Amino acid sequence: MENKNDNQIERPPIVAVMGHIDHGKSTILDYIRKTNITEREAGGITQHISAYEVVHKDEKGKDKKITFLDTPGHEAFSKMRERGAKIADIAILVVSAEDGVKPQTIEAYKTIVDSKTPCIVAINKIDKPGADIEKTKMSLAENEIYLEGYGGTTPFALVSAKTGAGIDELLTLILVLAEMESFTGNANAGAEGFILESNLDSKRGIQATLIIKNGTLKKGMLVTVEDAICATRIMENFLGKTVSEATFSSPVRLVGFDKVPKVGGAFIGYQNKKEAEEAVKNWKNKTSGTSTDKAEDSGKKLIPIILKADVSGSLEAIEKEIGKINTENAEFRIVQKGVGPISENDLKGAGGLQNMIIIGFNVKTDKNAIEYADRLGVTLSSFDIIYKMTDWLKEEMEKRRPKIETVQTIGKAKILKAFSQTKERQIVGGKVIEGNILIDQVVKIIRRENEIGRARIVNLEKGKTKTSSVEEGTEFGMMIESKIEIVAGDVVECFALVQK
C-alpha cells in the first residue's frame, strides 16, 4: 500500500487515559467533553473502551484535535488496557491526590512502559480535603514513576475533574508532547488501524468501533479484520452521526460485518470487493491447521458455562476472571460464548450439558430462553458489574464442587475407671488428654490403638456438676450409650465429619 514520505502530514494524537478504577479517568473525560457518561456506566466504572474527539487551542491559538480512549480500570480488563496503550500515541496515567499509587496504577504504568508509549501523569482530585500532592509525588517516586522536578522527565499536570482546574493545562501539555513526538499520517493512503470494540446489535446487526491510525476510510470501501469483512455503507463518527469519510486518528463505527471482528485486531481498508475477499482468503490460508486450542482433561469436575456479553472486550475480561476461579477438584469451562442477547438457541446449542450455568453480561435474555432454562433446570444469571459476577461465581463453585468428607478429631479422653452398667448404658470416669469431650457426641472406642466400636455420650459431669463439655487436662464422669463394655485403659475419641 502506497505510503510515501512526501505525503506525510501532521495528525491528531490518540490518547489513552489509564489508571486505578476510581481515580477519575472517566470524570476527567466528562469534563473535557462536557457530557456525562459516568452515570450511564454500571457501578460508575467504565467496562469497555470508548473513543472521543475533542478540539483544543494550542499555544499559538490554533484549533487542534485530540482523540481520547477511555480504558477500564478494573483488574479484569487488563487486556483492554494493553490494547489502549498499544493503539495510543500518548498515555495519561491518572492518580488520585487522595489515594496515591494503587496496584492498578502500577499495572497501568507497566503497560505504558512495555508499549513504549510517551506518558503524562495527571494528579487528579486536587480539590478534595484529603488531597496531598507532595505525598502523591513521593508515592509515585517510590514506585519508580519519576516526575519532572522529582528525579525524572515524566511531565505532569495537577487537575480537578470536578472543578475543571488544570484541565486546559493538561490538554496543552498533550499538544506540546504531540508536537515533540511529531505524529504523522498519509491521508491519501488506504485506511489502516485497529478494532476497539465489536458487538451484535439486535436491530442493526454486527457493528464495530475502529480507530484509524493511517489513511482515509471512505463510503463504498470495504474493511477486513482477519476473516471478517464489512462494506462501509453505514459509517458513523463518535457522536453517532453518519459520515461519508474519516481519516487518521478518528474513531468510527461500522455496521454490517459478516462476523464479529476480533477486538484488538488490525483492520485494512480496500477500494473493491475482490481485493478484500482476496485478503480474507489469504488470512484463512495462513492460519489453517495452526489451532492449538485443545481441551485437556484435567481430571477435575468440569462446570460448563455459556457466556454472552454486550461487546467482545467484555467477553475477554470475563473469561480471564472465570479462569481464576477453580479448586483442587473442580473448574469452570466455557463451552460457548458470543456477543448479543441470550437466546433459546444458545441453550439448545449446548446439547443439554449437566450442571450448566448461563451468564449474561450487559445483555438481555429472551423470554423463550428463560422458559427453556426453567424446563432444563439450568442456572441463568445476568450481571452488569464484573466483580459482582465473580463473587456470584465463587459461591456457585463452592456449591457445585465435589465435597470430600474427612474425619476431624475434636478430643480424646482416657478411661480411668468403669462404674455401673445397664443393658446399653454405662457410667465411667476419665480424663481428657486432648481437645474437648462434648455431650451428645458420637465417639470412637479405642482399645490398644484399634477402634472396637462406637458410642454416644448422654451425660457429662465435672466435679459432680452437669456440663456440656470438658476441656483438656480435666477429670470427669460420664454416662455413655454403648453396646460394647468400656474398661479402664480404653480411649474415647470425639470426632466430627467435615466436608472440605
Q: What does the DSSP assignment read for 211-228?
A: EEEESEEETT-EEEETTE
C-alpha cell at 336: 460457548
**pTM score:** 0.61
- Yes or no: say if 403 and 455 are a contact pair by the CB < 8 Å rule: no
3-class DSSP state of 101: coil
**Helix (H), strand (E) at residue 78:** helix 78-87
- Yes or no: say if 347 and 376 are a contact pair by the CB < 8 Å rule: yes
Domains in the chain with CATH codes = 10-183 (3.40.50.300), 192-285 (2.40.30.10), 301-400 (3.40.50.10050), 405-499 (2.40.30.10)
C-alpha cell at 119: 506518558
For the range 100-104, what are the long-range contacts, defined as Cβ-Cβ under 8 Å and sequence gap of 24 or more?
100/132, 100/135, 100/136, 100/139, 100/140, 101/136, 101/139, 101/140, 101/142, 101/143, 101/145, 102/20, 102/23, 103/20, 103/75, 104/19, 104/20, 104/21, 104/73, 104/74, 104/75
Q: What are phi and psi of 313, to 5 degrees?
A: -60, -40
C-alpha cell at 235: 459509517
pLDDT tens string, the chain, 500 residues long: the values are 444 455 788 999 999 888 877 777 778 888 887 743 444 444 443 344 468 888 888 888 888 889 988 765 444 445 555 666 678 899 999 999 998 898 888 888 988 888 888 999 999 999 999 899 999 999 999 999 999 988 889 999 999 988 989 999 999 999 999 999 999 989 888 899 988 888 777 788 888 888 899 999 999 999 999 999 999 999 998 888 899 999 999 989 999 998 888 878 889 999 989 999 999 998 888 876 544 343 345 567 888 888 998 887 788 788 888 888 878 788 888 888 888 888 887 777 655 566 788 999 988 888 888 888 887 778 889 998 888 899 999 998 888 887 777 888 999 999 999 988 888 899 999 999 999 999 999 999 999 989 999 999 999 999 889 999 999 999 999 999 998 899 999 999 999 887 77
Q: Where are the alpha helices (DSSP H) in 123-182?
A: 133-142, 167-181
Q: How far apart are CA 122 and CA 28, in angstroms?
A: 10
Listed in sequence order, the residues at least 6 apart from 200 whose beta carbon sits closer than 8 Å to its beta carbon are 206, 207, 260, 338, 339, 340
Residue with cell 472521543: 52
Q: How many other CB atoms are there within 10 angstroms of residue 308's CB atom? A: 27
Q: Where are the alpha helices (DSSP H) in 195-343?
A: 273-287, 312-324
Q: How far apart are CA 122 and CA 171, in angstroms?
A: 11
- Yes or no: say if 407 and 413 are a contact pair by the CB < 8 Å rule: no
C-alpha cell at 173: 501539555
